[in-house]
Amino acid sequence: MTELERVDQAVEYFRRYDQKSSAIKQNRENQEYLKTYIHDEDYVVKNFQLTTKRAKALGISAGAGLVLFLLVYFITKIIIAAIVLGAFALIGISVFSVCLQHYRLTAAKQKQVEINEGITEQIEILKAREPQLIQDKENFRAGIEKRVPFISVDDRKYIGEIRKMIESGDAATAEDAAAMLEQKLPELVCFDLKTNELRPLTAFNEA
């Protein structure tokens, strides 16, 4: 395998590693997105606009009662009968509207409960999936560290610089390119979890 092929292989490993990182991020974002569809009863009541609907129903009832009152009065000329029938229409339609809106509100609350339960179940599935995604990522990282000794996963953004040095002939091997890059970029360091300090990239390669 040529040095450029080694670099290309490292690029592909890093690409797949980034995909695994993105999968974890996407999994968490999906959980947060699903949570936006979980609402309590107060939210349902507020969005149902019960007061507005009742006021509208009352207006319709009053209009229907008035129409019936006028119709009966002009036909029979009996004001008492007109008042009774008009009042009956007003009360009857009002009671029916209130009962109907109450039924619809109850149905809306129950539907939201079912939605919440379904979403909660989906969130739990995503949460349960996350440890496996993280473990896959860490296992893949460990594999990269064994297969790509000349640059760490954390410094993968510099892989393009290593390729340029090999292509230009400035470095014969990927390891040489990494050493040269370290001299050009003093900031190219890694955090050593064992010693809790920053160390040059080559220190990890030599280890």
pLDDT, averaged per 10 consecutive residues of the chain (207 residues), comes to 91 95 95 92 77 66 64 68 65 73 84 92 95 95 92 90 90 90 65 50 46
Q: Is 0.75 topped by the overall pTM?
A: no
pLDDT at position 204 is: 45
**In which element (H, E) is residue 149 found?**
none
Backbone angles phi, psi at 162, to 5 degrees: -65, -40
pLDDT at position 85 is: 63
What are the distances in angstroms from CA 34 to CA 4, 40, 206? Answer: 44, 14, 47
Place of tokens 């029916």: 96
107: β partners: none
- Measure CA 13 to chain center: 27
- The two three-digit tokens of residue 134, written as one number: 């993280």
Q: Is 172 helix (H, G, I), strand (E, B) or coil?
A: coil
pLDDT at position 66 is: 64
pLDDT at position 198 is: 43
- Compute the Cα dihedral for 175, 177, 183, 187 and give only its sign: negative
CB atoms within 10 A of CB 206: 9
Q: Is 78 helix (H, G, I), strand (E, B) or coil?
A: coil
Residue-wise burial string across 114-124, b where 16 or more C-beta atoms lie within 10 A, e elsewhere: eeeeebeeebe
CA–CA separation, 58 vs 91, rounded Å? 9
